[in-house]
Structure 1
Amino acid sequence: MKTKYVAVATGCLVVMLWGEKVWATDAFNLIGHGPVSIGMGGTAAAYDIGPAGMMSNPATLTFMPDGTYFLIGADMVSADLKVTSTATGETANSYSRGRNNGPYFGPEFAFVWRKDRIALGVGAYATDGVGTQYGTDSFLSRTATNNVDTGLDVFSRLLVMDIPFSVAYKVTDKLTIGGSIDAVWTSVNLGLLLDTTQIGALAAQGRLSGGLVPALLGIPQLSGGYLNFNNGKIAGGAASAWGVGGRLGLTYAVNPTTRVGLAYQFKTSVGDLSGRSTLTAVSAVAGNIPLSGTVRLHDFQMPATFTAGISHDFTDRFTVAVDYQRVFWSGAMKDIQVGFTQDGTGQTLKLALPFNYRDINVFSIGGQYRYNESWTFRAGFHYAQEATPDAGLMAILPATPTTNVTAGTSYSFNQNMKVDIALAYAFPKTLTNGSLPDTSVPIKVRHSQIAASLAFTKRF
């Protein structure tokens, strides 16, 4: 019977992992790593969340009993997005219009070896992402200048994959330290339509340059410009690059029932994302004029994060954990710098889209109750300040939810094998933006979502 349970759980995970691997919450960040953390509101700094601890505070890997662990799992997010033009009342919904649209799936793989005072681990996790697709027939595909229905698809997709190599060491019976060095892969798909008014505002602010600019501005009745790069696959992006990241952490046992934890995740250092692209000039008289070339996203990084947490065992069955995070978005998402180089001529266009993301505070609290040897139940609350200023809101990057409630459970087949599952609901959040250059018409974006996480862990 146990073999049957394992086969069913593993089969479900394999099916899930064939899906699209991207999500978004807390700006581009998931609220936690793995179902144990997500079920407890995203807490992880001072509590045993299993092998996924290598992604939050590697020092917690020593909380696991001695043994060799293998984990396979997946995270899923289904988002509900509605963009409204507050000038006309028209709406655009992000449904299943293409492969850049959700629901989104992120993989979890981990291998941990734990013995005496040391723990070693390696894994693969999708850590950051955003994605949406509005199709070709909404008001987002129409220019405000000359009211041209372009028939161009408006979409985005970001995926950041993290492969950590982690180590943790129990210095004393109370103090544990840990760290990881990560290989980081970032990929992007994008279908971005800019109205002529937006192009003019970017030029006036010194955010638009290159040899292609005079030629494009000289096109009769220029109504907009469209940048498109899309790999057409269920995962990844047409523009991508590898880089490095990492984190450090420690835990300290104040007493047998209370632990504190600190962790610092470094800002990623990923090379410029590059790939094949098309730049299209939209003319009210000549139609769409495409130019083929290559695109480059310069210095597109994920932010540094500081986390402090505490966990306390009120009884041998009931535990509460609390985490505080400071996410330094302002150092990573001030501008998105995009460059296009035309084939043949080598002429370039460079633009810097102002995002001006803010540093945010994130608060998480979660509780766990071990009902019996087989069942454990969890619940939590997660709140993050809004990273996106209204003036930086774009319909294709609606990473706006801030408040989540979570719940989860574990079923242990025995001491060496278990399945964990968690659900998180992000309450609807609405932001508005009526200013150039990030939008040409005043918009209101409503965004809510449901997330799920499932993992199977085996100890050998």
Structure 2
Amino acid sequence: MNDARPPLPAPPRPVRRAAAALALAAVAGSAQATDVFRLEGFGAVSRSMGGVATAQDVGPAGMMTNPATLSLLQAGHTLMGGLDLVTTDIEVQDQATGARVSSGHHGSNRGPYVAPELAYAQRVGAWTFGVGAFAQGGLGTEYGSSSFLSRATGGLDTGLDNSSRLLVLNIPLAASFKVNEALTVGAGIDAMWQGLNLNLLLGADQVGSLIGASRVSGALLPVLGGLPDLRGAHFSLTRNSPLASGINAWGHAERIGMTYQLRPDTRLGAAFTTRSHMADMEGRATLTAVDGVAGQIPLNGNLKIRDFQMPAVLNLGVSHTVSERLQVAADLSRVFWSRVMKDIKVGFVSDGGGDLNILLPQDYKDQNVLAVGAAYQWDARWTWRGGFRIADQALRGSTLFAVIPATPRKHLSAGFGYAVSPAASVDLAWSHAFREHLDNTSLPNTSAPIGVNHAQDNATIAFTWRF
């Protein structure tokens, strides 16, 4: 409901009170979810309504979920620009000692995270075409170099950083066709870029556990094993820049969708996004062997993370017009994480010769995600929105990394749209990820038993111009 409409008279006072109560009932005590590395909705309209977008007109950003919704836009041209702002609250506790560390401002390129949103759509007869640029998602942590996470086996302080930043950007090109008054179909292809910064210390016990499970191989393995007192190994692949990353890759994904006007007041939608087809992320890195006798031995070289993909997603949705002013919508999604996030496959080749290959277990589970949202047009200028989203937990505690705590699964959202003129509007959305706790007490992905708490706040602002 972000398109311009004819002026409506202000509702009577009793109706205003009832609408306010309905809006509070729609969002109070509810929850919303983020889909691991995926943002919980694209564009301010969708984000404020819990991420619904499969059967609902959420503006040109809808091409990121269901390209067929482009046919729901007004005739002519639609241009949207905006920003995503993501702030995180992450704390890790050593459950053996009680030591704690928070992810915060320990570095120069992590959090709060800002990403652009840009989309353009044009109606040409029965066709509507769209192109855009969106942050699909990512993650970020910054624990510094002095916490318990920077201690190697035996409590040896290393002064080495533990941090992460994954950024996934999509550039969708989509088209939608209005088959008849009831049916629209659409398809699209996304160019994708992903970049990763990572600083990760593995204790000698973690390395030993990986070796014992046949998850480490390469010519450098005997070299590490030959050190007099190996305490750990540290990977560093980071560039201190707002966008540039230590390793990165390009790829693509495809998307199809449809909407069907079941009744004048009810629309159904369905869409499917394929898993991504990304090249291996690669770039320069440093592998530092930490030894109790020889000290720290850095090895420079090239590093690849092989076959790191974003998952396929199936979306089913319904949108219902309750009255002239009120719309409600719901999406049910299946996110196929288990097909793409079995292991993180790391390959390192030293400049001096020798290689090291590691399989870090992840074993994510598929997610079911429910999103529900409502939009109430208060008058000719103001539209109020709210929603919630809840998902299954995709991560397993037994394979949790402190630097990859993508655990939130419940969000609450709210926002509004303001029509500056019949041709222009501003939309604002806020969503809160409720604190999620997950424990990992086992090797190989942690040395000390840890508990991770993760909460998050996301905000989106967008300006839309129709001409």
- Global fold match (TM > 0.5): yes
What residue is the counterpart of 2:417 in the other structure?
Answer: 410
Structure 2 letter corresponding to 1:373 = A
Distance 1:271 1:332, change over 3 A: same
- Name which structure has the greater RCO, CA cutoff 8 Å, separation 6+: 2
- Say which of 245, 255, 263 aligns to 2:253: 245
Give distance in 1, aligned partners of 2:140 and 2:109.
6
- Say which of 425, 434, 438 aligns to 2:441: 434
- Say which of 65, 77, 80 aligns to 1:68: 77
What residue is the counterpart of 2:186 in the other structure?
Answer: 178
Structure 2 letter corresponding to 1:442 = P
Gaps of 5+ in 1: 1-23
Give distance in 1, aligned partners of 2:173 and 2:47.
22
Give distance in 2, aligned partners of 1:174 and 1:135.
56
Over 6 Å off, 4+ runs: none
- Say which of 349, 368, 379 aligns to 2:356: 349
Give distance in 1, aligned partners of 2:351 and 2:66.
46
What residue is the counterpart of 2:97 in the other structure?
Answer: 88
Give distance in 2, aligned partners of 1:356 and 1:239.
23
- SS in structure 1 at match of 2:60: helix
User: Is residue 148 of structure 2 the alignment partner of residue 139 of structure 1?
Assistant: yes
User: Is residue 319 of structure 2 the alignment partner of residue 311 of structure 1?
Assistant: yes
- Say which of 371, 392, 401 aligns to 1:394: 401
- Listed as ranges, the matches of 1:139-288 within 5 Å are 139-143=148-152, 145-288=153-296
Give distance in 1, aligned partners of 2:165 and 2:244.
8
Deviation track 1:13-61 (CA, whole Å, cap 9, x = no partner) reads xxxxxxxxxxx93211111001100110110000000010110101001
- SS in structure 1 at match of 2:156: coil
Give how far 1:70 is off.
1.2
RMSD: 0.9
User: Is residue 459 of structure 2 the alignment partner of residue 452 of structure 1?
Assistant: yes
Structure 2 letter corresponding to 1:453 = T
8 Å Cα contact 1:270-1:299 kept in structure 2: yes
Gaps of 5+ in 2: 1-32
8 Å Cα contact 1:146-1:284 kept in structure 2: no
Deviation track 1:251-297 (CA, whole Å, cap 9, x = no partner) reads 00001110000000100001000000000000112211100000000
Structure 1 letter corresponding to 2:434 = F
Give distance in 1, aligned partners of 2:155 and 2:48.
47
- SS in structure 2 at match of 1:109: strand
- SS in structure 2 at match of 1:373: coil
What residue is the counterpart of 1:117 in the other structure?
Answer: 126
Structure 2 letter corresponding to 1:252 = Y
* TM-score normalised by the chain length of structure 1: 0.93
8 Å Cα contact 2:265-2:321 kept in structure 1: yes
What residue is the counterpart of 1:97 in the other structure?
Answer: 106
8 Å Cα contact 1:404-1:425 kept in structure 2: yes
Worse-matched range after superposition: 231-240 or 429-438: 231-240
Give distance in 1, aligned partners of 2:464 and 2:399.
41
Give distance in 1, aligned partners of 2:302 and 2:282.
7
Structure 2 letter corresponding to 1:153 = D
Give how far 1:392 is off.
1.5
Give distance in 2, aligned partners of 1:219 and 1:209.
17
Give how far 1:222 is off.
0.4
Distance 1:310 1:240, change over 3 A: same
Give how far 1:118 is off.
1.0
What residue is the counterpart of 1:9 in the other structure?
Answer: none
Give distance in 1, aligned partners of 2:123 and 2:398.
49
State the aligned residue count: 435
Deviation track 1:90-131 (CA, whole Å, cap 9, x = no partner) reads 001111111343111121011111133210011011102011
Give distance in 1, aligned partners of 2:160 and 2:294.
15
Give distance in 1, aligned partners of 2:38 and 2:85.
13
- SS in structure 2 at match of 1:140: helix
Distance 1:405 1:459, change over 3 A: same
Give distance in 2, aligned partners of 1:99 and 1:189.
12
What residue is the counterpart of 1:17 in the other structure?
Answer: none
8 Å Cα contact 1:164-1:246 kept in structure 2: no
* TM-score normalised by the chain length of structure 2: 0.92
